[in-house]
Amino acid sequence: MGDPKRQRRRFQTPRYPWLRGELDAELRLIGQYGLRNKHELWRAQAVLSKYRTTARSLLAEPSESRAKHERELLKKLSSLGMIAETASLDDVLGLSVQDIMERRLQTIVLRKGLASTPQQARQIVTHGHVSVGGRRVTVPGYKVSREEEETVSYASTSPVLKTDHPVRKGIEAALRAPGRVELKEANQRGSKA
């Protein structure tokens, strides 16, 4: 538990923080997903590390005792949309940070066209203009499950819901711009690489 004023970090910093390749990769991910700082990226890496460690420990167990835990882990990750429903533990070991980042509410809002840039998606979420399953969510790092993904929309009390709102007009104009298609393709290529 500990003192509430001194909460533990939920991430670990890189072992060698000044490696040029590491810095470039981190900055590319921060820009691509519109993160506030590197702590959000490191938190996602910590979550990924936890899933991989669990999968490795399950692979080391005898097959009769690991079946239940393996099903639970695979069901959890498939409900989050990180792996396919027919995946195995090898697929869990093949997960990347981009797979976790793609499930963030901020990214889902951008992919659904509710915002024109990752930074605008973050702002729309933090200002309370987005609802998931009928309830407002103001956390950009909220992990959206596969079932909830279809229910992501503007909040019913949000002024952005009106089509004549200036922010909404700007978003629609940016989505119709000819360069927007190229940006979506570049984002998809960047997330696969």
Backbone angles phi, psi at 132, to 5 degrees: -125, 115
The whole-model pTM stands at 0.84
Give the model confidence (pLDDT) of 101-152 as tens digits. Answer: 999 999 999 999 999 999 999 999 999 999 999 999 999 999 999 999 999 9
* Span(s) in the chain for CATH 3.10.290.10: 105-192
CB 36 within 8 A of CB 66: no
Give the model confidence (pLDDT) of 31-68 as tens digits. Answer: 999 999 999 999 999 999 999 999 999 999 988 888 99
CATH of domain 105-192: 3.10.290.10
Give the model confidence (pLDDT) of 171-191 as tens digits. Answer: 888 888 876 654 455 445 444
